[in-house]
Amino acid sequence: MIGRLRSQTIETGKFLADWMEDRTGAVTQLEHFLYEPVPKRGAWLYTLGSATLFLITLQFLTGILLLFYYVPTTDHAWNSVYYIMNEAYFGQLIRGIHYWSANFLLAVIGLHMARTFFTGSYKAPREINWIVGVVLLLLVIGLAFTGYLLRWDQDGFWASVVGIKIGSYSPFIGPYVTHFLLGGDVVGPATLARFFALHVWLLPAMIAPFIGIHLYLLRRHGEFGAEFEYTDRISKLHERQREEGYRQHEFEDDEEYDYDDELDEEGGTTRHRRDDE
Ligand code: HEM
């Protein structure tokens, strides 16, 4: 019975996949999107980028759900978080996922960066992907910083005060950025509104296209050190060595014999060795 049910499910799945592939070509596209050869050695370390992608997607999804209850004003922010934690259906779970996945995201993004650094993935032709990665890192740090104030409790409040104070000592731009973030002289309602706008609108809207560029460039160059890259490089090297070998051979021949080039009837050239004549 269970065996029949399983084979029926597989058949239906296959039918749907074939139907979809026939109508849209989506299955081939998905296969192409998901398949990326990685080096055999340390293959697990190459999952860190996908882990980062997974965590940031989770952040987007849980963040959207939190927005259904969160109120970004100084007199309601803390209460709305309290409501999410104690009254809202699955509120504690969703906020817990958002909180922990934010922490893991920072750790995993650091590990992903370390992996790309130690495997030398920042070298040509992947320099731009590294730069895009640095931008993503800064944006994610921005997300973490702005998110902390939103709960409007003592922890978040004072962490933001200290963070902004540190930032204010940056040369040249420090005072301007501080003033822009605070929206006044001290952390208050305007600061909360600005941090909210940055956290849920501006930073995510900037992160999304950068992730797109990051993944596009990854597809363009492939994973650094993947077998195909070496196969390609080695075959190019062999081809160059073969060509150099031929040239060397011809050069030696040229030195040994004298040649005469003659125009033939079709307009091409025929080469004769002088001593043949
Ligand atoms: C939101 C943040 C990020 C996401 C979602 C992300 C995602 C990914 C994914 C899925 C890959 C392919 C799988 C892998 O190699 O692990 C990748 C590769 C890469 N990432 Fe990231 N990444 C992020 C941040 C960063 C940062 C902070 C850096 C460095 C500053 C970086 C530099 C690179 C480089 C150079 C590659 C190419 C790796 C290679 O060819 O070996 N990424 N990224």
**91 Cβ closer than 6 Å to some ligand 1 atom:** no
22, pLDDT greater than 80: yes
Q: How many domains does the chain have?
A: 2
Six-digit token pair at 117?
């650094």
CA 139-146-191 angle, to 5 degrees, is 130
Ligand 1 site, residue 203, Cβ cutoff 6 A: no
Q: How does strand 269-273 pair with strand 259-263?
A: antiparallel
Domain assignment of residue 156, given as a range: 39-225
Question: What percent of the chain is modeled with pLDDT above 90?
Answer: 70
- In this structure, the residue with its CA closest to atom 22 of ligand 1 is 49
Q: Which of 44, 118, 136, 228 to mutate to test the pocket of ligand 1 (most atoms within 8 A of CB)?
A: 136
What pTM value is reported for the model? Answer: 0.80
Cα of first residue to Cα of last residue in the chain, in angstroms, is 89
Angstrom CA distances, 187 to 73, 162, 184, 192, stand at 13, 11, 8, 8
Q: What angle do CA 79, 85, 87 make, to 5 degrees?
A: 85
Q: Is 133 in the pocket of ligand 1 (CB under 6 A)?
A: yes
205 CA distance to ligand 1 middle (Å)? 19
Residue 156 sits in the same domain as residue 129: yes
* Inter-CA distances, 69 with 36, 102, 192, 193, Å: 40, 19, 16, 16
User: Do 204 and 245 have their domain in common?
Assistant: no
Q: Express each pLDDT in 189-218 by its tens digit.
A: 999 999 999 999 999 999 999 999 999 999
Question: Both 113 and 160 in a single domain?
Answer: yes
Ligand 1 touching residue 108 (CB < 6 A): no
Which among 222, 213, 167, 215 has a CA at the least distance from the CA of 191? 167
Is residue 268 domain-resident?
A: yes
Q: Does residue 258 share a domain with residue 189?
A: no
Q: Is the CB of 147 under 6 A from ligand 1?
A: no
| Residue with more model confidence, 274 or 215 | 215
Mean pLDDT of all residues in 246-272: 64
176 part of a folded domain: yes
